[in-house]
A and B are shown apart, each in its own frame.
Chain A
């Protein structure tokens, strides 16, 4: 029973972790892309359609990454090249993504999907409990863990990651040092889009292998909250993602238990828990402002126009 619950928690948490990791990199470069939900659903639609057309879920994954990445380019062009307001553009991206994905997937509604099969590690998967939980997972899960390690190394150990953080702290100073602010931000935005697209692919190829309109169901917003919750740190994204995922799954089980006991808990209350938790965390970290200032990208959401 516990193992089964844990497996569903992992499946529910992986898209949150992936999308939040992408947004973390974007925000560390100083760009606030509120279009995660839109990029995610575009990724889900592209992945599902490509998998249906080719019969390969792996081509579906690539299509999801590609779809999310290209869609984020639209955001990049509007906010970085045309210097449009990032908040408004991000919201528009979400609305556009929800509509556009419906269009892409329209012909595929109700078709049975192709589920991405787990990769079974020989021997390791035979370890009781841990083997089943950790070594019989699909490719996307392994990628999500590798990304946590990789992004943490990239941001805090590599020189390119240092430049990215510098841009997010003060783009004017970074520009004065000769760092290409706009190009780096484009790449960061596209990485965010690709991660959101991969998260979407997980939804339509692993979580519920079918196409349903609006199937991202607000996970993009949770991922956005998760970035703040994790105070822009990759390992905390992993922890927070699993916490939020567990809350989502626990909510279903709690409903059943409560119903059996004759108690009515409004489901909306439990759905709101991740956001409430984020607010609590925000209150806690804003008490210690020094650490917040060292972690929070100071240039977040501010447009950059180099003088000529």
Chain B
């Protein structure tokens, strides 16, 4: 089938002056956008630029406060996702709207005409997934599937409705480079059929590679519309951020000091059916070194962090040594007292209590390790509010945390600012060992470069830093050495300079150098 009508024809979808207000805050402000038939159109912007709000309005999840949506030239009101699908708009969400307790076929059936039988849906999904190179078993329970497979369900689900426009919200953020390549092939196939794709991303390279046009958003406004192939990543970034992003600065590798963290033959069984078991993990981190651990989500990063931090102590005391001391069975506070600091992945509910003030969050993390500074009265443990407040102020200044008021609730800060605070909370102690999991996940470029610089500076001052991350750009920016975690196994560390993106991609897909490199091995 072909839907293309040539570039001069009426755009498939036009948006005029679309605005969404939350109270007095304009998440989207008078946005104009045109998507032609058979076009892969990028929507670029930092976190909080209004991309998600815009697509939610296009998909009928949110209603615009003002402005107009035109579908094939005619004004339309999209009151619900059902109406959007009826028009021919399909959506693949960033956070999958899948039901873990249901099977693949059942998940797909939920968004289709109820008259179609489940058996037919299974058949169609199976044949469609084959046609687009997205292997799927319709009878599998979603709970048992990997993130990449879950995304395939979303795509197949959208395709089954034969849409004219498919919206993809940050689709590659959870994929290995090889899985992403496969996705791009599917997108090109869709484009060849005359379908349009609205591709939301903040990955500039990717956008330049696959998109025909790009619309850039910043603070809810359109700041540029361009052909991404004519732009450089730097010029695109300028449009996204509004100014040049401070480049992370790193001196040539300094001499490394003593071993600060030593993990030897650490095996941890999976705690839950969805967890990954750690298998014979061995690593050494020296003073002055940043060891970055790359890997696709769900390959044991969380479990490794839990073991290193002592959130879940391990059975073998000798398996983990911090500054020479065996701490496998020691809890998190015991390890902090040895000079280690830890920043977990989840900002809300794990690294910080959203409903509590920043100063309270500071005390919660450091009440044991900095007892002398923050508590007085011996056994009574009376809180010294003055000391905590001044420490909070110090951290906010050091990390440039922007907040409303003197000591606001953690939940009121934007993601980037809260992340700067929780990283700063540990840095303030000058830890000799710092373990961070996903330090810049979902934060804006400015905050991310600040945090990365802080991690590099900490290592330079003689601490050992372990950074667990899925963001390869970040890893290459900060790492002295890079190891890759895959299905609970950790590879040998490689000096950052000796690795290429392709090589890491293969390692992330579970292909280790000792094996041959079969094409299909990176399907997961």
Contact = CB atoms under 8 A, between A and B. Distances in A.
A289 B272 contact: yes
Interface in A189-213: none
A307 B98 CA distance: 19
Given A177-B81, A290-B273, A298 B100 contact: yes
A297 B109 CA distance: 19
Contact of B99 (A159, A173, A178): A173
B141 interface: yes
A147 interface: no
A169 interface: yes
B98 A308 contact: no
A283 interface: no
Interface in A252-308: 289-290, 293-298, 307-308
A122 to B, nearest CB: 39
B81 A289 contact: no
A165 B102 contact: yes
A163 interface: yes
B82 A178 contact: yes
Interface string B74-102: 00000011100100000001001111111
Interface string A147-177: 0000000000001101101100110111011
Contact of A163 (B80, B97, B100, B110): B110
Contacts of B97: 170, 172-173, 176-177
Contacts of A297: 101
A187 interface: no
B351 interface: no
Contacts of B141: 294
Contact of A293 (B81, B96, B101): B101
Contact of A169 (B85, B99, B114, B273): B99
B88 to A, nearest CB: 15
B381 interface: no
B110 A177 contact: yes
A162 B101 contact: no
Contacts of B99: 165-166, 169-170, 173-174
Contacts of B102: 162, 165-166, 169
Nearest to B60: A178
Nearest to B85: A178
Contacts of B144: 290
A182 to B, nearest CB: 14
Contacts of B114: 159-160
A98 to B, nearest CB: 35
A298 B109 CA distance: 20
B111 interface: yes
Interface string A212-255: 00000000000000000000000000000000000000000000
Contact of B273 (A159, A177, A293, A296): A293
A159 B109 contact: yes
A295 B272 CA distance: 16
Contact of A176 (B61, B100, B101): B61
B186 interface: no
A59 interface: no
B110 A298 contact: no
A293 B62 contact: no
A100 interface: no
A96 interface: no
A179 B100 contact: no
Contacts of A307: 62
Given A162-B102, A169-B100, A294 B110 contact: no
A308 B82 CA distance: 16
Interface in A116-151: none
B506 interface: no
A296 B81 CA distance: 27
A179 B93 contact: no
Given A169-B102, A289-B272, A176 B109 contact: no
Contacts of A160: 114
Among B62, B97, B114, the most chain A Cβ lie within 10 Å of the Cβ of B97
B303 interface: no
Contact of A290 (B63, B96, B109, B143): B143
Interface of B: 60-63, 80-82, 85, 93, 96-102, 106, 109-111, 114, 141, 143-144, 272-273
Interface of A: 159-160, 162-163, 165-166, 169-170, 172-174, 176-179, 289-290, 293-298, 307-308
29 contacts: A159-B109, A159-B114, A162-B109, A162-B110, A165-B99, A165-B102, A166-B102, A170-B97, A170-B98, A172-B97, A173-B96, A173-B98, A174-B110, A176-B61, A176-B81, A176-B93, A177-B81, A177-B111, A178-B81, A178-B85, A178-B111, A179-B110, A290-B144, A293-B100, A293-B273, A294-B143, A296-B101, A297-B101, A298-B100
Given A289-B272, A295-B101, 11 more contacts: A165-B101, A170-B98, A173-B98, A174-B99, A178-B85, A178-B111, A289-B273, A290-B144, A294-B100, A294-B141, A308-B63
